Amino acid sequence: MKIIIGADHRSVDLQNKIATYLIGEGIDVEVCALPHNEKDDYPDFAFDVCKKVINTENALGILICGNGIGMSIAANKVKGIRCARVVNSDDAFKAKNHNGANVIALGNIKEELAYEIVDMFITTKFASEERHLARIAKITAYEGNKHE
């Protein structure tokens, strides 16, 4: 498994703490290499991380910005990404196990809570119940169609 993580300039500190934590747990981590400055834009980081998640076998993504909302909106514009903004470990479990999320978005939260959320996201199995799989299939089918 590989974790690809990215953050805007306001969230670099938490990004680096999570990356260090995960590396310490023996997980392969790639940190988004886009440069940071006060004028950087969260969509750039979301798009970069999500493209890598889509193009890397067995990868998950973690995005961090001020409150996680902007990152999740941008991430969900990338075909094949199902990103959920999560605020606790129960959200992380349901995002992955019920909704097939392959990316989560966090706000600037305390690092201990971030570790709990990330641990839950990584260790939770993807959806396997038929009702969840059917819902994910509907989303995937809609994503592939043109809409007017």
- The residues annotated as belonging to the active site are 65, 98
Q: DSSP E strands: which ranges in 95-134?
A: 103-106
Strands 59-64, 103-106: pairing is parallel
Angstrom distance (rounded) from CA 61 to CA 67 = 16
Angle between helices 111-123 and 12-24 (to 10 degrees): 50
Q: How many angstroms separate the CA atoms of 4 and 91, rounded?
A: 19
Query: What are the structure tokens assigned to 85, written together?
Result: 């903004």
Q: Who contacts 115 (Cβ-Cβ below 8 Å, separation ≥6)?
A: 18, 21
